[in-house]
Amino acid sequence: MIPKAPIGFLNLNKPAGMTSRDAINRVQRAFRPQKIKIGHAGTLDPLATGVLMVAVGRATRLIAEVQNQTKVYKAVFKLGCQSPTEDTEGEVTELVNPPIPSQAELQAALEQWTGTIQQIPPAFSALKVNGKRAYDLARKGKQVDLEPREVEIKQLVLLNYHYPRFEVKVECSAGTYIRSLGRDIAQTLQTESVMINLIRTAIGDFQIENSLELAKQTKKEFCEALVPPIVALPHLEKVSLPQEQTLKLLQGQILSRFERSVSVQNPEKPFALITPKCELLSIVQQLRNGDWKAERSFVSAVEYQAMQAVS
């Protein structure tokens, strides 16, 4: 049996007006008086709604894996206006006699910003400049110069266009700023834009249709909604080993290439060590000499032995 301490992911549907930190605090309060570590994978601005993956307990060790998975959004932009924050959180200024792009021109601009692109993040972002948050500098009226970053826009589909508003579906890599994507599209059309609505509909395999509304949920309801950690690792190869070999890895020992009973398809990449019931035990890396070493474990050796005693 997996440890009694809660572990897994909550697929939450964050409402508008709430920060990602607020959502974390709400989950944290539900688990009191237990001191459970809580974290989230991929911040959503207060304006945005949709999928916010919250890691509970030892699943927080997998936040980076979830954060780096493909994200899907639906966004609405308004052309012919601008804002220092690139959304409606800042003061919106209407442009004088801006151009009115045709649908064909807008479609061509979308195609130009599809694929691997260089994106300059917004000044009002949590990125750091010389150790300080960019948004803190921007709020003080200071110049914020952020370097372009490579991101991938895997899919950019026009869903609706009725000037001045257009709606798109965006499938993108981690680190993409959707409001900045709208800015770049607008500037390609010789105008400006402001993002007025954003919904994150998916992170990896986690879909908004299966998300949990963040109402006054109880600890029991949160625990029932927890998604097993292994579900967050569709990209990792899964390996199950005999008990003796598994225990050795969970004890922090090296499993020699001469001892192990199986091989992995891609020895350069880490893989998930699981039980025969597909419960996540550890993430293991193959060393240069072919030996195996556990990088991050989610079950201790003692807990694993207890699991075997009752199975």
- What amino acid positions are annotated as catalytic residues? 45
Could you tell me whether strands 212-213 and 8-14 are parallel, antiparallel, or unpaired per DSSP bridges?
parallel
Joined tokens for residue 120: 């300059």
